[in-house]
Amino acid sequence: MVLGIRRGQSLIEYTMLIIIIGSALIAMTTYIVRALNARLG
């Protein structure tokens, strides 16, 4: 029971980290694209 709960928590933590990292990468890419467009434009 305890091992199953720990596995579930770790899985949730991994998904949360993936979501946070993915959103951060998307924000960084959008910011860089906007900066490049501002310089080129």
CA distance 19 to 25: 10
Residue 3 in domain: no
- Give pLDDT, residue 30: 97
- Regarding predicted confidence, which is higher, 2 or 16? 16
Residue 6 in domain: no
Within 1-41, residue ranges assigned H as helices are 2-40
Owner of token pair 């080129």: 40
Residue 40 in domain: yes
Residue 4 in domain: no
- Give pLDDT, residue 1: 53
Residue 39 in domain: yes
Residue 24 in domain: yes
Residue 23 in domain: yes
Which residues form the domain of 24? Answer: 12-41
Give the total number of structural domains in the chain. 1
Query: For residue range 3-41, what is the model confidence (pLDDT) as tens digits?
Result: 666 677 888 999 999 999 999 999 999 999 999 999 988
Residue 17 in domain: yes
